A and B are shown apart, each in its own frame.
Chain A
Amino acid sequence: MSSRARLIVFLVGALGLATVFALGFCDLPPMGDYRGPYGYVVTQVAVFERHATDVVNAINYDYRAFDTLGEEFILFASILGVLLIFRPSQNSEKKESYDPGQEDLPASDALHVTTQGIMGIMIVFGVYLTTHGQLTPGGGFQGGVVLASTPILVYLAGDIEAFQGITSSALVKFSECGGAAGYAILGLAATVFGAHFLTNVVPLGTTGDLFSSGTIAIISVCVGIEVAGGFVQLIRVYLREIVGAQLKEQE
């Protein structure tokens, strides 16, 4: 296709988009306008019904827990896909030694010191986000990601052996599978008590307590464990060959 024809196709498309966009803008409701009763109802009843002060997580992990279960398994399946694509190759290519080519910049002392200082804070913050999902903004997903990014800090701090130890431990694999399975098992456990799948059957406790809101807190922790394990696995497979070569170099 010549550049002239391409330009014509683009102009027609852009004109159409601009028209539809302008029409859409004309009928836009004012900022903050909300139509539909569901949001108002759920913000009114969530704290009383579920003893969870963070209504967003009450929706995610209770009222709409089935949707979140689906999302968890989307994440699970996509991480599985990456692991499958990056599985160690059978041929001899992997035996070739690592050659950084152009010299890598040496990590600065400031980087070593900062990463070591931040690590503890990040682990505590990640655990806090995961366990307080029912009380404050956050929850398992965010906390899991924060926890999963700490091994990268170990790597940046220059302790490659520790990075290898953390990321290749069986606990990481188990936490990914265990977290995802825990969510599903918790849902099935409700059916044992004669309730629907993923019904909140655990005692709700006192509003505002750490151990309150029943399954919401437990699901949040399950999700946190799964997400942390999954993302650490992702980081591991990306860096596996490079870290392996660096370890060989150190010997």
Chain B
Amino acid sequence: MKVLQWTSLLLVMAAAPGVVLSREPKSQVVALSFYGLLCGLMFFVFQAPDVALSQITIGAVMLPLLILLALTRMRRHNLLRQRKEGK
């Protein structure tokens, strides 16, 4: 149990800089999703399955999804504006 807990803590520690250091928004979202998954794993190993489920559904699925959707909207908005200026 101790080994698992330490491993999960180290994994979270290793993944966190990955989120901060990836500068491109799209790859950052993927890194964030992976980090959320690792956090969920950590909560599970520390015997908090309820929190782990919340973390996986929100941190690893919904939050990255909403960021991706927002990026899609922004891209479309920028394209429309560029076209307007081009005309």
Contact = CB atoms under 8 A, between A and B. Distances in A.
Interface string A218-236: 0000000000000100110
B73 A141 contact: no
B69 A142 contact: no
Contacts of B65: 149, 152, 235
B57 A145 contact: yes
Contact of B50 (A56, A148, A152, A234): A56
A29 B28 CA distance: 35
A138 interface: yes
A77 B8 CA distance: 35
Contacts, number: 54
B8 to A, nearest CB: 13
A138 B62 contact: no
A16 interface: no
Nearest to B72: A242
What band does the interface of chain B fall in when counting residues whose beta carbon is under 8 Å from A? 20 to 34
A137 B79 contact: no
Contacts of B4: none
What band does the interface of chain A fall in when counting residues whose beta carbon is under 8 Å from B? 20 to 34
B57 A142 contact: yes
Interface in B45-87: 49-50, 52-54, 57-58, 61-62, 65-66, 69-70, 72-73, 75-76, 79-80, 83
Interface of B: 49-50, 52-54, 57-58, 61-62, 65-66, 69-70, 72-73, 75-76, 79-80, 83
